[in-house]
Structure 1
Amino acid sequence: MIARAVHFYVNSFRGLSRGVWLLALVMLINRSGTMVIPFLTLYLTQKLDFTLGQAGLIMGFFGAGSIVGGWLGGFLTDRIGYYKVQLYSFLASGFMWMLLLFTKSFWSIAIAVFFTSVVADAFRPANMVAVGVYSREENRTRSISLIRMAINLGWSVGPALGGLLIKLFGYHWLFILDGATCFLAGVFLAITLPEKEKPPTEDASPQEEESHERHSPWKDPLYLVFILSSLGMAIAFLQFLFTLPVYLKEDLLYSEDQIGLLMALNGVLIAVLEMPLIYFLEARRQKLFYIAFGTLLIGLAYLTLALSSWWGFVLLCFILLTLGETVSFPFHTTFALERGKAASRGKYMGLYSMMWSVAVILAPMAGMQIAQFFGFGTLWYVAVGLTLLGTLGYALVSRLHGSQRKATPVRT
């Protein structure tokens, strides 16, 4: 049985292109230095003595920069190409993370965080388009899962190391190492991975290709319903990143290194489980089923946190969050990526990235305000409600999608 399990696990990695593997290695290098964002709210409240409300507003500036960066990244990807956008974003964000270390006042930090986020998040649409270019349709979800695996392996290193660095040396090393890994990822990308031309739009005539180039995701009703449905789920999920560490620190009195280890658990579990799980699931049901089911698991995670602060429930919350993310997110990204043809994927992924950026604004601002005025328990119930609304939205998308496929053959 063990031999069969190992064989199945190994098979889940077969058939992926060299380009996808190198993209994954680039992301591993970059995300191994992800230290500032997991601890930024703690840095602002513990080190600089900002209130929860001020910290939430600064994270709102981060989200505003993400919106601009998502739009800019999608726009530039369709203009100068996914490769240049990724490279320039890595190099510029490395400089910006280090510069952020020298800002101390509320407005200087807010402005610096905004522009750092613009530069860093311009990378996202370009990277998702790159996965589409280097992968094949039949293994696209697994290719996305491999990228996510690399991100989460890095995530398992970054926060854990970050918590240890805070304890031993202070917060400033977070900014230095985060910037350095951005530089290193950019250099590695330039040296090892040659640019590959976008494939022509699948099954499209030259006239259809030109039409898709002009096509806007803002005129795709099904995609817009999908984006709106995803917003509530994303706001709920991102409490894991922005408010849950503060809750563990201030209400449950966990130390920074304990918080870092719990957050690292998320990355480790995803690294171990996601590829074989997606390999097992990808051909069995429609993508939207897994997206909805994973969203329900995320809601269940916050429900356990609302019911008890016992350490076992905290651990269960992290496990359920991880399972929900693992089941839902690869199919979520694949659905968004494949909704647009090759020539319009920059626009589609730009809007997808902007949706996450809006969530990055609303999640800390609303989460911190709810926690400050009504308590963390109320916040967890609000998160449960948002995941239920998101699940209902995905059910509507699935129904619309089924009707659309009966009417015309639309590839998703």
Structure 2
Amino acid sequence: MRGWLREAAGGLPRQFWFLWTGTLINRLGAFVVIYLAIYLTQDLHFSQSQAGLVLGAYGVGGAIGTMTGGVLTDRWGRRPTMLIAQFGTAALMLSLGFAGQFWQLLVGAWLLGVFAEGVRPAFQAMMVDVVPDRDRIRAFSLNYWAINLGFAGAAILAGMLAKVDYLLLFVVDAGTTLITALISLVFIAETRPVRAAVRRVRGGPGLGTVFRDRVFVSFLALNFVIVLVIMQHMSTLPIAMTADGLSPATFGWVIAVNGLMIVAGQLFVPKLIDGHNRSRVLALAILIMGIGFGLNAFAGSAAFYAVTVVIWTLGEMLQSPSNSALVAELSPSQLRGRYQGVNSLSWSAGSALAPVIGGFVQQHAGSAVLWLSCAALGVLVAIGQLVSGPARERRAAELRLSERALTTPAPAATETPHEEDITPPRQVPVPAEN
């Protein structure tokens, strides 16, 4: 066991563990968004459509937050962006708990989305900065494990607090966010790579650079499709189970299998996939997820639904750390925040569209067609991962070489460039049209 623990968690940088601790503490109290719809409809007696608008405002704010956070991560730095987002989230979380009018809740949820999601690019970029390439799959597995462990604890704690007073949900959530912000303030140092002296040109790399990177965008497109599949477990799956005569409580323990499996087994994943081709690992993971969701077409009992959760969770456990590590390798250090922001945006967009598309198919074509379509999408995305894999590996290799070149001392520049006018050095490959 000691040997396994050393392999799973040993040798990682000290700053990574501060980030990991902040993630765990923050996730243990992250339950306001999960319970927000229930709070709005049952405690404040708003309609379902009004609750939907508030949740939608949070989603819109989140999309803006990830993009803005990505840009600020590269311009201001990781640490200041994280601190502003975390302290802002704590304040807005507490303010939302005292809001009573609909327009206050709408604006408050929008602002909360901007700040709460704005921290993600900075956090992810900082983790990539401090963890060497060879350890990133382990690091992302550990972080993913902490997220799910915290989520499991939050679900239990939130139920207890909601029975006492819904306001406690907001107070405790704000408190855990504040603790995370204080950890960032006291223990975490800036990690943004020092920009090499480069020639001054008009304009500089921005979000357009990310969207012109066809290798990266095609990878995100594949991820976006599979997010549409994964997120069905939060929208159409409970509807399908209810239609089969199963209670909401039954759905709760069936879906809890997902979190339990991740907490119990995620730390074994890095050893399992070590040395294997990443594109093949991703293809296999996505194929397993597609099969798991596809089998819901034949499910009718709680036990069968639980088996399907076991199957697609296995795929999720393989896919998540591999996917995060590959995003990190495809992100140039000087644009890492922007790349992580666009990656987060793809997940936010997929999460927002999944219930809309899934619900439409389920209503007009039936659950069986929905689940079989999920299986078909899994097969197509798996093939796409295999086909596009070589181009991604070439791009990752090119970036590794260019990053090494950036660490080589350069001759002093005759002119100090403005940050807005800095472009990557000539050695950094411009995204090609592959």
TM-score range, shorter chain: 0.7 to 0.9
CA distance in structure 2 between the partners assigned to 1:237 and 1:222 by the alignment:
23
User: Is 1:198 equivalent to 2:189 in the alignment?
Assistant: no
Alignment-derived partner of residue 232 in structure 1: 225
Whether contact under 8 Å (2:148, 2:259) holds in the other structure is: yes
Whether contact under 8 Å (2:257, 2:306) holds in the other structure is: no
Which segment is superposed worse, 121-130 or 101-110? Answer: 101-110
User: Is 1:26 equivalent to 2:22 in the alignment?
Assistant: yes
Query: 3-state SS of the aligned residue for 1:12?
Result: helix
Give unpaired runs (5+ residues) of structure 2.
402-434
Deviations 1:331-388 (A, max 9, x none): 1111111112211111111111111121122123334455556555554344334433
CA distance in structure 1 between the partners assigned to 2:38 and 2:290 by the alignment:
25
User: Is 1:340 equivalent to 2:336 in the alignment?
Assistant: no
Deviations 1:222-243 (A, max 9, x none): 1111111111111221223345
CA gap of 1:111–1:369, structure 2 versus 1, over 3 A, is farther
Deviations 1:47-100 (A, max 9, x none): 64644x766555443332221111011011011111122222222112323333
Give unpaired runs (5+ residues) of structure 1.
none
Q: Which amino acid aligns with 1:94?
A: A
Structure 1 residue 297, shift from structure 2 partner: 2.1
CA distance in structure 2 between the partners assigned to 1:250 and 1:187 by the alignment:
47
Query: 3-state SS of the aligned residue for 1:239?
Result: helix
Query: 3-state SS of the aligned residue for 1:267?
Result: helix
Structure 1 residue 299, shift from structure 2 partner: 1.7
Alignment-derived partner of residue 221 in structure 1: 214
CA gap of 1:380–1:62, structure 2 versus 1, over 3 A, is farther
Whether contact under 8 Å (1:60, 1:364) holds in the other structure is: no
Which segment is superposed worse, 88-97 or 25-34? Answer: 88-97
CA distance in structure 1 between the partners assigned to 2:370 and 2:40 by the alignment:
21
Alignment-derived partner of residue 271 in structure 1: 263
Deviations 1:294-350 (A, max 9, x none): 222222222232321311122223323322221001111111111122111111111
Q: How does 1:178-193 map to 2 (within 5 A)?
A: 178-191=173-186, 193=187
CA distance in structure 2 between the partners assigned to 1:105 and 1:307 by the alignment:
45
Alignment-derived partner of residue 128 in structure 1: 124
CA distance in structure 1 between the partners assigned to 2:225 and 2:285 by the alignment:
13
Q: Which amino acid aligns with 2:173?
A: D
Higher relative contact order (CA 8 A, sep 6+): 1
CA gap of 1:196–1:100, structure 2 versus 1, over 3 A, is closer
In structure 2, which of residues 64, 70, 85 is the aligned counterpart of residue 89 of structure 1?
85
Whether contact under 8 Å (1:339, 1:411) holds in the other structure is: no
CA distance in structure 2 between the partners assigned to 1:114 and 1:251 by the alignment:
36
Deviations 1:271-297 (A, max 9, x none): 332222113313222x22222222222
Whether contact under 8 Å (1:56, 1:369) holds in the other structure is: no
Alignment-derived partner of residue 318 in structure 1: 309
CA gap of 1:151–1:402, structure 2 versus 1, over 3 A, is closer
CA gap of 1:45–1:253, structure 2 versus 1, over 3 A, is farther
Alignment-derived partner of residue 66 in structure 1: 62
Percent identical:
26
Structure 1 residue 195, shift from structure 2 partner: 0.7
TM-score (norm 1): 0.84
Alignment-derived partner of residue 291 in structure 2: 300
CA distance in structure 1 between the partners assigned to 2:279 and 2:100 by the alignment:
44
